[in-house]
Amino acid sequence: MINFPRFLPSVAAVALAFAALPAAAAQFELQAGRSYMDSHAANAVFAEGVLAEHPLGDSGLHWAPDLSLGWIDGRDIDRYRHARYGTREAIWLAAGGVRLRAGEPGDWYHHFFYSFQVALHSGRTQALSSPYEFVNSVGWQWHHLSFELRHISNGSLHEPNRGETMALVGAGFEL
């Protein structure tokens, strides 16, 4: 069961940030795919806003603020049915961080990216057992299409730490 009162401030903060996106965003993406925990799959859906890119000094890297709202469905796994943290609960996530790209916008490799975010979520499961998680994504984006691999876990700061690893396909819209 989702503990909405505990999660409501996080959802409100990210919703307000998404409301401000039209003034500052470069891209809004809807992403969907499958998430895996111990070889057990579940559906995952994310809405992601990537704000305008900025050069990181003279390093050749560009960074952009990155905000996400996500949902990962639960899965029924017998061996965790009576554990302290189960697997049946669907999880809502609110995350914020930075997306990094190398090179200039015209370079062929500028389409590849790495993203790091910190997330708060609605519940605790075998995969996501702490009140905060770290989100790491690597992917490729070209115009309105993106492909990415994403891993979410707490970095072994709390057990269990099975994490969620997903493959996502996204459709982007310029704002």
pLDDT at 81 over 80: yes
Residue spans per domain, the chain? 4-173
Query: How far is Cα 98 from Cα 90, in angstroms, rounded to an integer?
Result: 25
Within 10 angstroms of residue 105's Cβ, the number of other Cβ atoms is 9
Tokens linked to 170 = 């996204």
CATH no. of 4-173? 2.40.160.20
Q: Mean pLDDT over residues 9-23, rounded? A: 54
Query: How far is Cα 99 from Cα 138, in angstroms, rounded to an integer?
Result: 9
Side-chain half-sphere CA neighbours of 39 within 13 A:
0
Query: How far is Cα 16 from Cα 18, in angstroms, rounded to an integer?
Result: 5
Per residue in 119-137, pLDDT tens? 999 889 998 988 889 999 9
Query: How far is Cα 37 from Cα 162, in angstroms, rounded to an integer?
Result: 6
Query: How far is Cα 146 from Cα 27, in angstroms, rounded to an integer?
Result: 11
Are 119 and 66 in contact by the 8 Å Cβ rule? The answer is no
Per residue in 83-116, pLDDT tens? 888 889 999 999 999 999 999 888 999 999 999 9
Tokens linked to 120 = 């708060």
Per-residue confidence (pLDDT) for residue 1, from 0 to 100: 45
Q: How far is CA 169 from the centre of its chain?
A: 13
